[in-house]
Amino acid sequence: MGIKTQRAGQAQVLLENELLKECFKKLHDEYIDAWKITHFKNAAGREHLWQAVQIVGLVQGHLRKLIIDGRIASKDLAALSHNIKSKR
């Protein structure tokens, strides 16, 4: 098993972890709630909260990308192994 497939497995475990899912949702919801009550003159505050929401999504997206990359690597390794075996 390659490093990408190992990392994919670890990322999968993280994304399926109920505590981590709860943390992501809580952060997202708290940032949105705080954004909703910012004063209309506080553009910088709203911008920071918007960035925070985006970062939560980016972290989740990075974990999903690790899973996809691992699946691709696993398929590539399987195809390479099949090719090697068929040439014997």
Q: Model pTM?
A: 0.77
For residue 20, what are its two tokens? 């981590």
Characterize 35-68 residue by residue with b for buried, 16 or more Cβ atoms within 10 angstroms of its Cβ, and e for exposed: beeeeeeeeeebeebeebbeebeeebeebeebbe
Count of the separate structural domains present in the chain? 1
- Residue span of the structural domain in which 17 resides: 3-87
Query: For 43-86, how does the pLDDT look when each residue is reduced to its tens digit (9 = 90+)?
Result: 999 999 999 999 999 999 999 999 998 888 888 777 777 777 77
Query: Average of pLDDT values for 31-47?
Result: 96
